[in-house]
Structure 1
Amino acid sequence: MSNTAVEESDAADAEHAPLRVGIVGGGFIGKAVGEGFVEHEDAAVVAVVDIAEDVLEEAGEELGVDADSQYTDYETMLEAEELDAVLIGTPHTLHYDQILAAFERDLHVLCDKPLTTDLDDARDLVERDAERDEVLMVGYQRHLYPAFRAAKEVWNEDGREPRWITAEVSQDWVDRFEGAWRQDPDLSGGGYLYDTGSHLLDGVLWSTGLTPEAVSANMHFLDDEKRVDGRANVTVRFTNDATATFSLSGETPCMREHVRMWDEDGAVTLDSRDWEPSEYAEIDDESGEYRPRLSRKDQPTKAEAFVDAIETGERPVATALDGLRVTAVTEAAYESARADGSFVAVDPDDVALDD
Structure 2
Amino acid sequence: MSIGWGVIGASGIARRRTIPEGLIPAKDAILAAVMGTSEERTKAVAKEYDVKWYLSEQELLDDKEVQAVYVATPTHLHAQQTIRALRAGKHVLCEKPMAMNLKEAEQMIAEAEKHDCKLAIGYMMRFHAWHQKLKQMVDADELGALVMGRAQLTCWYPKIEGAWRQDPALGGGGALADMGSHCIDLLEMLLGRTQKVTAFVDTIVQDYPVEDSSVVLLRCESGAIGIVEAHFNVPDEASVNMLEIYGSKGRVEGRGTIGQVSTGAMTAVLQTDDKEYDADQQREGTSEVLRLQLQVIEPEEVVNIYQAEIEDFCEAISHNRKPCVSGEDGLWNLRVLMAAYESSKQGKAVKMIGG
In structure 1, what is the Cα distance between the partners aligned to 2:69 and 2:298? 36
1:247 alignment partner, SS class: strand
State the one-letter code of the partner of 1:76.
E
1:347 matched to 2:331? no
- The correspondence for 1:272, drawn from 248, 256, 280, is 256
- The correspondence for 2:154, drawn from 152, 155, 170, is 170
> Partner residue of 1:79?
62
1:266·1:282 contact (CA, 8 Å) conserved in 2?
yes
Shift of 1:90: 0.5
- The correspondence for 1:147, drawn from 130, 133, 144, is 130
> Partner residue of 1:10?
none
In structure 2, what is the Cα distance between the partners aligned to 1:121 and 1:133? 18
1:76 alignment partner, SS class: helix
1:42 matched to 2:28? yes
> Partner residue of 1:292?
297
Shift of 1:148: 1.0
In structure 2, what is the Cα distance between the partners aligned to 1:258 and 1:61? 38
TM (norm. structure 1) is: 0.83
Say what the alpha-carbon RMSD is for the aligned residues: 2.7
> Partner residue of 1:4?
none
2:62 alignment partner, SS class: helix
> Partner residue of 2:107?
124
Shift of 1:290: 1.4
1:198 matched to 2:201? no
In structure 2, what is the Cα distance between the partners aligned to 1:192 and 1:310? 32
In structure 2, what is the Cα distance between the partners aligned to 1:40 and 1:311? 14
- The correspondence for 2:225, drawn from 243, 249, 253, is 243
2:66 alignment partner, SS class: coil
> Partner residue of 2:342?
335
2:265·2:297 contact (CA, 8 Å) conserved in 1?
no
Shift of 1:158: 5.7
1:300-355: CA deviation from partner (whole Å, max 9, x where unpaired): 6132222222223333221112212211111111112223x21122222xxx2xxx
Q: 1:75 to 1:213 in 2, by over 3 A?
A: same
1:217·1:336 contact (CA, 8 Å) conserved in 2?
yes
> Partner residue of 1:12?
none
- The correspondence for 1:90, drawn from 53, 73, 81, is 73
> Partner residue of 1:186?
169
1:215 matched to 2:215? no
1:148-175: CA deviation from partner (whole Å, max 9, x where unpaired): 1122222223694522122222111235
State the one-letter code of the partner of 1:343.
A
1:200-254: CA deviation from partner (whole Å, max 9, x where unpaired): 111111233x121121111223799995111111111224442112222211221
1:155·1:161 contact (CA, 8 Å) conserved in 2?
no
State the one-letter code of the partner of 1:284.
L
- The correspondence for 2:327, drawn from 305, 320, 324, is 320
Q: 1:266 to 1:123 in 2, by over 3 A?
A: farther
Q: Which moved more, 1:223-232 or 1:195-204?
A: 223-232
User: Which consecutive unaligned segments of at least 5 residues does structure 2 have?
Assistant: 273-291
1:56 matched to 2:38? no
In structure 2, what is the Cα distance between the partners aligned to 1:223 and 1:98? 34
1:93·1:186 contact (CA, 8 Å) conserved in 2?
yes
In structure 2, what is the Cα distance between the partners aligned to 1:243 and 1:39? 38
2:146·2:222 contact (CA, 8 Å) conserved in 1?
no
Shift of 1:25: 0.2
2:152·2:228 contact (CA, 8 Å) conserved in 1?
yes
